[in-house]
């Protein structure tokens, strides 16, 4: 497909704006390094580190087996995003436009809306957690004057507002500025994590290897078999990345070639996850040797090391890492999703502004209200519900349409156009989604299926694709005019 083939004519204004339009190859600037840093920022958050460290302690598996399970998850996610990212590399379109092919030009609003709700919620929560890193920095410099409102001290509120404005400013400056931030934050976090690992290693000295040995023969609290523990670790890591997997096209539309995308995914997922997990293992073992307990929260580690320079550097780094994952997983996707709902009225920027405003109240009320009333469980359920859309999108593109899309009809609401279906909705896709989503939601809400919770996303996506293929197998899509 050549750049001149990306011209869109006879568009429906209710489906089109310049932010949703295909990006010509001549205007794409991303290569493997930018994709690598999308994953670096996704992995290197406070929660990402704590998750990786906890996996070595919780399942009673030999540490080498845990490493293999984590690396396997990286390979699985790499395959998943290579599939979901390829169409956007080819056509330059974001996720909410891509999903029009399978769900219909109006039906695409359903997955976009659900994905936006999940993203906005976690954007607010992650903004709060990023503010704790900023509060650590400010408290180390100026102390804490005390007092609190809605669970946050004065320093806490200042930090929260600063982080909120900082993220919005980066977003408002455009995708180039976001790219620059991600490319800076990813390598910096690695430098600081390696430095912390070396400091812990030196201080632990000869006690480090025995501590690693004790972790590598961990007894954990997990009650299942070794095989189920291995699969649970793999499923947990895949679920961690699930938020980015489905809308990976929001990023690959900026990539120059499929080869660059695949190289970035290879370096950014299995290799990156392996190295980051190794760092987490060494630091966790070091804290066991130094403090008599395995610490999995980086903030607790920094507090125990008791070094002002390290505290300042680490606070800035944790702040950058958490802002990075927030932009990648929870800010850019809802901005596109909201823009897709009302393209003539909501641009990518306005979608981001709406995301930030709603998320402000979620983050501000997280401690005292939201975290205590069961909303996170509801949002997790929505996240599970979204999983079938992945299978539907992939099966539609690769098996039903044979990797050929009609870009013109992506922006057409004319009856009889390729993706109009029935009043803009593909009822077969809706049925496939509903059937698969019943399983996904059951793993969250039905106690007897709780053991499948870690695999809910994978199974939900698989069922969505299977049901969709069965329902659409007799459907003959109109011939694409662009390929």
Domain of 27, CATH number, reads 1.10.4160.10
**Count of structural domains, the chain:** 1
Looking at residue 232, its pLDDT comes to: 81
82, 389 contact by CB (below 8 A): no
Neighbouring residues of 474: CB distance < 8 A, sequence distance ≥ 6: none
**Could you tell me the residue range of the domain that residue 64 belongs to?**
3-367
Q: How far apart are CA 236 and CA 252, in angstroms?
A: 25
pLDDT score for 86: 97
Cα–Cα dist 420/411, whole Å: 10
∠ Cα 205 208 209 (to 5°): 120
Three-class secondary structure of residue 62 per DSSP: coil
User: What pLDDT score was predicted for residue 479?
Assistant: 44
- Is position 210 within any domain? yes
Q: Is 246 exposed, middle or buried (0-12, 13-18, 19+ CB in 10 A)?
A: buried
Q: pLDDT digit of tens for each residue in the chain (483 aa)?
A: 444 444 555 677 889 899 999 999 999 999 999 999 999 888 877 777 777 888 877 777 777 888 889 999 999 999 999 999 999 999 999 999 999 999 999 999 999 998 888 889 888 888 888 888 788 778 877 777 766 777 788 888 998 999 999 999 999 988 888 888 888 888 888 888 888 888 888 888 888 888 777 766 655 556 667 788 888 888 888 878 887 899 899 999 999 999 999 999 999 999 998 888 888 888 888 888 887 777 777 767 776 766 777 777 777 777 787 788 888 888 889 999 999 999 988 999 999 999 999 999 998 888 787 777 665 565 566 667 888 999 999 999 999 999 999 999 999 988 888 999 999 999 999 999 999 998 888 877 777 776 676 677 888 899 999 999 999 987 765 544 455
Residue 372 lies in a domain: no
Residue 409 counted as domain residue: no
| Separation CA 138–CA 159 (nearest Å) | 8
* Helix or strand holding residue 428 (H, E): helix 427-445
Tell me, yes or no, whether 333 lies in a domain: yes
Query: Residue 149: beta bridge partners?
Result: 152
Secondary structure (3-state) at 395: helix
Residue 380 forms part of a structural domain: no
468 half-sphere exposure, CB direction, 13 A CA radius: 30
Residue 438 lies in a domain: no
Structure tokens at 456: 């809910």
Angle at 345 between CA 341 and CA 348, to 5 degrees: 70
Compute the Cα dihedral for 377, 381, 386, 388 and give only its sign: positive
Is residue 406 included in any domain, yes or no?
A: no
Q: Mapping DSSP to helix (H, G, I), strand (E, B) and coil, where does residue 108 land? A: coil
According to the model, what pLDDT value does residue 216 have?
A: 66
- State the Cα–Cα distance between residues 361 and 366, nearest whole angstrom: 8
Residue 432 lies in a domain: no
Distance between CA atoms of 375 and 249, rounded to whole angstroms? Answer: 28
pLDDT of the residue at 67? 86
């Amino acid at each position: 497909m050549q750049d001149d083939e990306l011209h869109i004519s006879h568009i429906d204004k209710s489906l089109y704006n310049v932010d949703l339009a295909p990006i010509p190859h001549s205007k794409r600037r991303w290569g493997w390094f930018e994709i690598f840093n999308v994953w670096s920022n996704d992995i290197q958050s406070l929660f990402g580190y704590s998750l990786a460290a906890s996996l070595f302690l919780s399942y009673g598996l030999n540490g080498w087996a845990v490493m293999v399970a984590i690396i396997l998850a990286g390979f699985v996610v790499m395959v998943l995003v290579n599939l979901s990212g390829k169409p956007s590399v080819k056509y330059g379109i974001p996720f909410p436009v891509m999903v029009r092919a399978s769900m219909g030009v109006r039906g695409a609003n359903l997955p976009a809306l659900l994905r936006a709700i999940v993203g906005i919620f976690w954007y607010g929560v992650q903004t709060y957690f990023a503010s704790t890193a900023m509060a650590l920095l400010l408290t180390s410099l100026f102390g804490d004057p005390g007092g609190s409102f809605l669970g946050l001290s004065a320093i806490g509120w200042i930090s929260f507002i600063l982080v909120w404005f900082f993220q919005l400013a980066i977003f408002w400056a455009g995708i180039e500025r976001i790219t620059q931030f991600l490319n800076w934050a990813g390598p910096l976090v690695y430098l600081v994590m390696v430095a912390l690992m070396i400091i812990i290693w030196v201080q632990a000295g000869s006690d480090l290897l025995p501590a690693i040995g004790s972790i590598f023969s961990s007894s954990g609290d997990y009650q299942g078999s070794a095989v189920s523990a291995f699969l649970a670790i793999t499923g947990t890591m895949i679920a961690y990345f699930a938020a980015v997997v489905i809308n990976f096209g929001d990023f690959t539309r900026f990539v120059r070639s499929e080869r660059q995308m695949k190289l970035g995914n290879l370096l950014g997922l299995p290799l990156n996850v392996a190295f980051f997990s190794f760092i987490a293992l060494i630091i966790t073992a070091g804290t066991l040797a130094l403090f008599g307990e395995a610490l999995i929260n980086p903030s607790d580690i920094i507090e125990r090391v008791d070094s002002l320079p390290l505290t300042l550097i680490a606070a800035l780094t944790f702040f950058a890492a958490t802002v990075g994952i927030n932009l990648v997983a929870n800010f850019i996707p809802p901005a596109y999703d909201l823009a897709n709902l009302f393209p003539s009225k909501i641009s990518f920027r306005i979608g981001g502004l709406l995301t930030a405003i709603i998320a402000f109240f979620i983050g501000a009320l997280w401690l005292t209200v939201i975290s205590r009333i069961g909303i996170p469980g509801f949002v997790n359920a929505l996240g599970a519900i979204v999983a079938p859309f992945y299978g539907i999108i992939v099966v539609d593109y690769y098996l039903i349409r044979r990797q050929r899309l009609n870009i013109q009809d992506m922006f057409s609401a004319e009856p009889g156009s390729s993706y109009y279906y029935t009043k803009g909705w593909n009822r077969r896709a809706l049925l496939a989604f509903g059937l698969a989503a019943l399983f996904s939601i059951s793993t969250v809400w039905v106690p007897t299926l709780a053991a499948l919770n870690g695999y809910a996303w994978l199974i939900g996506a698989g069922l969505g694709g299977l049901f969709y293929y069965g329902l659409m197998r007799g459907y003959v899509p109109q011939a694409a005019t662009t390929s």
